[in-house]
Amino acid sequence: MTERPGKDTHRRRKAYSLGLSAESYAAWYLRLTGWRILKQRYKTKAGEIDLIAKKRKTVAFVEVKARKTRQAALEAVTPASQKRIVRAAKIFVSEHPKAGFFTLRFDVIVIRPWALPERIVSAFEANG
């Protein structure tokens, strides 16, 4: 079976678009629950963090996953992606030294069809 040219490109564009809208939805949800978005799509040489948010004395580095199920979303946050996020977070803290005085944590927000976003607080640790 031959696939038509550009099908993979179309799939990637669709996934990218879904990711952008999921991140915007997650940012909206965080703002409604009292968080201030410091950075969206924070890019470093180590990788990207979807959202960096602050509330009182906590800074959360947030990975956003749009999946059909919670389980699928959590499985998509692999050990490799966790390491990438932690490395990028360390770069953020080095560029914003005051962040070191805050409680730092790594959250995941799951975006599922027809459901409110689900925030998993401290979904993983920095480990090292």
Does a structural domain hold residue 35? yes
Contacts for 21-24 with beta carbons within 8 Å, 24 or more apart? Answer: 21/66, 22/64, 22/65, 22/66, 22/111, 23/50, 23/51, 23/64
Does a structural domain hold residue 1? no
Q: What is the pLDDT of residues 25-68, one digit of tens each?
A: 999 999 999 999 999 999 999 999 999 999 999 999 999 999 99
Instruction: Quote the CA–CA distance of 50 and 39 in Å, as a whole number.
Output: 8
Structural domain harbouring 116: 7-124
Does a structural domain hold residue 67? yes
Separation in Å, CA 92 to CA 44, 45, 48, 64, 103: 8, 11, 11, 18, 14
Q: What is the pLDDT of residues 64-94, one digit of tens each?
A: 999 999 999 999 999 999 999 999 999 999 9
Domain of residue 76, CATH code: 3.40.1350.10
Our count of domains for the chain comes to 1
The residues facing 66 across adjacent strands are 111
| Confidence grade of residue 8 (pLDDT, cut at 50, 70, 90) | confident
pTM score, two decimals? 0.88
Does a structural domain hold residue 25? yes
- Strand, coil or helix: what is 47? coil
